[in-house]
Amino acid sequence: FLLFIAVELGMQGKFGGQSNAVAVVNGEAVTSQEFYVIYNQELEGAWKAIRSTMTDADEQALRQEVVDRLIGQTLAWQEARRLKYAVSPAETETMIRGMPVFLDQQGQFDPLRYETALGRLGITPQLFQMEQERAASAGRVETFVRESVRVTDLELWLEYLRWHRRMRLALLAFPTAEA
């Protein structure tokens, strides 16, 4: 399938695009709020240990990594919807209600705990649900693609032989020194 991606980094709203978009993927905006949720999670997660020593280049690399990840996830989500393989809102709701962070002492979903956690993150329930739906749908498509690729033992062996022969030829190409 043909993909058209228009990325508007640092140009939000200058050419009639969505003023809140960090990227536009096939006409669908990736909002700055979505970006900052993931970006802040990265700063508090894997990058936390080196956060105080991050250079401007490190920060720019992290920002680009987050944008690239959101673009890839959006593409996978769009493909999941096109193939009618996306996670439904009901499935998303079930996933969220089963997340241990939102369960009370008895293992039941606690709406207050849910609202409080999202409030601390600074995101709305709608955005959180959309992000969960997008991530789960993207994961579903990626799993489908990964599981549909099969390589037989014979194919692996033939590829090994092809590379092995190429390596031997490269070794034979070097002249030997005569003693």
**pLDDT at residue 19, as a whole number:** 59
CA distance 68 to 111: 33
CA distance 84 to 78: 10
* Mean pLDDT on 63-88: 92
Q: Name the 3-class secondary structure at 22.
A: strand
- pTM for this one? 0.64
* Mean pLDDT on 59-88: 91
CA distance 51 to 59: 9
Say if CB 22 and CB 67 are below 8 A apart.
Answer: yes
CA distance 54 to 43: 10
pLDDT tens by residue, 18-57: 458 899 999 999 988 889 888 887 887 766 777 778 888 9
pLDDT tens by residue, 103-162: 999 999 999 999 999 988 788 899 899 889 989 999 999 898 888 888 899 998 998 888
Q: Comparing C-alpha atoms, which of 75, 69, 20 is closest to residue 42?
A: 69
Q: Comparing C-alpha atoms, which of 65, 79, 68, 66 is closest to residue 138?
A: 79
Enclosing H/E stretch for 70: helix 56-82
**pLDDT at residue 7, as a whole number:** 39
CA distance 84 to 72: 18
Say if CB 134 and CB 77 are below 8 A apart.
Answer: yes
**pLDDT beyond 80 at 175:** no
At 176, the pLDDT band (50, 70, 90 cuts) reads: low
